[in-house]
Amino acid sequence: MSLGGPVAGAGEPRRRKEHLPKARRGVYWLVWWALLMALWVWVDDTLLFPELLVGAIVAGLAATLAELAQYQAASHVRVRSEWLGLLAPLPKALLFDTWTVLVALWRQIVSGTPPPSGFREEPCLHGGDDGESDTRRSLLLGIRSFAPNTLALGIDPERDVLVTHQLVAPARGAKR
């Protein structure tokens, strides 16, 4: 069972079907740089020139590495706008799961009994081996692992299910 795609080293390596023009690669690099620079400004929380200069250099190096890795992997991030709707429930899930984990931690400290944990399977389309499907699966795994109670382990392509582990599993028959 392969949970995210082909097993490393198995089969033939992915080969780029067409040569990407340098202008398109430049656009990809620029998008990476803008996103990484925005992340730098957000994390650094200052607009002082020396900090911005260092951020621009670091974002440039990281954008170069990201573009090279994507080019060599013959895949590029392709995000559909409708996928952004998947981000809406994240704040609620973060609060709910944080509360669930803290309550379980408190109960374990007080009573010494660990919470009931377990694995879950959710229906999920694996999709193909193209950039869009790779992006969708990566986003789905990241989104399902965002809240602290759940860790997405992978997608089984043969059964089209997402396998997750929950630190504090809901009671049998309970819906979430």
Buried b (16+ CB within 10 A) or exposed e, 85-123: eeeeeeeebeeebeebbeebeeeeeeeeeebeeeebeee
Question: Do residues 4 and 155 make contact, with C-beta atoms less than 8 angstroms apart?
Answer: yes
Contact (CB, 8 A) for 147 and 90: yes
Residues 123-141 pLDDT 10s: 988 888 777 788 788 888 8
| Placement of tokens 């060599």 in the chain | 72
pLDDT in tens, 75-130: 666 667 777 777 888 899 999 999 999 999 999 999 998 999 999 999 988 888 77
